[in-house]
Structure formats: C-alpha cells, structure tokens
Structure 1
Amino acid sequence: MDGLQVVDPDSFYCVLGEAINGPGGYFGWNLAAVGDCLGGGFGAAPPFSLEWQHSDSAGARLVSDHGGNGAFFEVLPEIFMDRGVDALLL
C-alpha cells in the first residue's frame, strides 16, 4: 500500500481497498467498516501482512481526531492488530 497516495481518510479507504482487493476494491469507508471487512467476506481475511510504504507521509496527513478515538493514524495499527493483520509500517 502506498502511503504517498493517502491525503485524507477517504483516500486511505480507497488505497486500502485497492491494496487488498485490486483496482476499485472496497475495504470500508469508515474505521468501523474496516474492522468489519477484516472480519472476512470482503476479500482478504486475516491473518495476513499489509506492507504500508511511506506510512510516515500518510500519518502526517491523517492527524485529525476521528470520533473521539484519538488521532486517525494512531487508531489504525490497533484495529489491524486486533483483527490479526501484521501491518508493516515502512
């Protein structure tokens, strides 16, 4: 997954969907939906590894608070880990 293509939460969902399910792939449009997708039935199901290149660039853009759950970027590794995804932040 290329973090340089992530400029906001909407682009994150698009990039994640395409990284997992190919061009035009869906993998959620909010953090709850990403968690649901990681439960299976929407393409890849855990356990799997997700290589996130340029994650620092994406993280700098995903700094907004998301529903009182802390910074968006900080919540993502927790979601991945809780669902059995080994997120490699490169």
Structure 2
Amino acid sequence: MTVTYVIEGSEVTGLERFWEVIGEAVNGPGGYFGRNLDAFADCLSGGMGTPDDEDFVIEWRDHTRSAEALGHPETARYLRRLAQRAHPTSRIRLQAELGEALAGRGPTLFDRLVEIIRERAGPDALRLM
C-alpha cells in the first residue's frame, strides 16, 4: 500500500511556512519533517515519519503557488541569511548564488526541494498537481 502525504501548495507562503506544512502533512499538527534542506533530505531517507516498509508519495497540490512563493526572491532571502553564518570558504559560492537569485536566474528553493524529494524518495515519489 502506498501512503500519500499532501502538501497544500496555497498554504506555502515562504520557506518557513513550507517546513510547517510538510511537517504537518507527514507527522500531524505541529509535526517536524526538517527545518533546513539537509534535515529535510535526511527525513526523506526514512525514520522521521515516512513509512520505512511501505512506499509513499508526496502529492504537492497547487504547486505553482508554492513555486512562486519559493521563487527567486525567497531564494535570495534564504541565501543572504545562509551566507551570514557560513564558513568563510563557502561565502564566495553563496554570494555568487545570491547574485544569480537576485537577477532572477538559477535554481530556486522550490527547484531544490523538488530535487531533494526526487533524489531521496525516488523519481515517482512526487506528484506535482
């Protein structure tokens, strides 16, 4: 049996809200399923709410609204915060990524989340609706 977790894309207004929405979709009210990209990837690997012995699918409804909310402006905000606390050797790369995001180019947070889901849970584990 396949378990389906639903992300209501219209509820995703930014990255912080995404963490809340996915946490509740998988683990119920107040649930946790990562609060950063690395933790999210780890959670998708099992043991944090997703069934270890069954297949699961993330059904991302109204994903175009989420894609807009997690677009280049939100990506730039995220990269700016990340660069402030990053190791000095990572700052050059992060500044370059920030410049791309500010120019409306490069992968967005939405793109990165989709990539993480497909890499960790499998290409068929995500339905964009």
Fold-level match, TM-score > 0.5? yes
Q: Deviations over 1:42-73 (max 9, x none)?
A: 11146410111111001101012454483100
1:57 counterpart residue number? 65
The TM-score with structure 2 as length reference comes to 0.63
1:8 counterpart letter in structure 2: G
Any gaps of 5 or more consecutive residues in structure 1? none
2:82 counterpart residue number? none
Q: Per residue, is there more helix in 1 or in 2?
A: 2
CA–CA distance in 1 between the matches of 2:63 and 2:117? Answer: 14
Residue 40 of structure 2 corresponds to residue 34 of structure 1: yes
2:56 counterpart letter in structure 1: F
Matches within 5 A, 1:49-88: 49-63=57-71, 64-65=75-76, 66-67=78-79, 68=97, 70-85=107-122, 86-88=125-127
Deviates more, 1:27-36 or 1:67-76: 67-76
Over the matched positions of the two proteins, sequence identity in percent amounts to 38
Deviates more, 1:19-28 or 1:79-88: 79-88
CA–CA distance in 1 between the matches of 2:59 and 2:121? Answer: 14
CA–CA distance in 2 between the matches of 1:62 and 1:80? Answer: 15
3-state DSSP class of the match of 1:83? helix
Please provide the CA RMSD for this pair: 1.8
1:14 counterpart letter in structure 2: E
Shift of 1:6: 0.4
Shift of 1:78: 1.1
Number of matched pairs: 90
Question: Which structure has the greater CA radius of gyration?
Answer: 2
Shift of 1:40: 1.7
Change (3 A) 1:40 1:80: same
The TM-score with structure 1 as length reference comes to 0.88
CA–CA distance in 1 between the matches of 2:127 and 2:30? Answer: 23
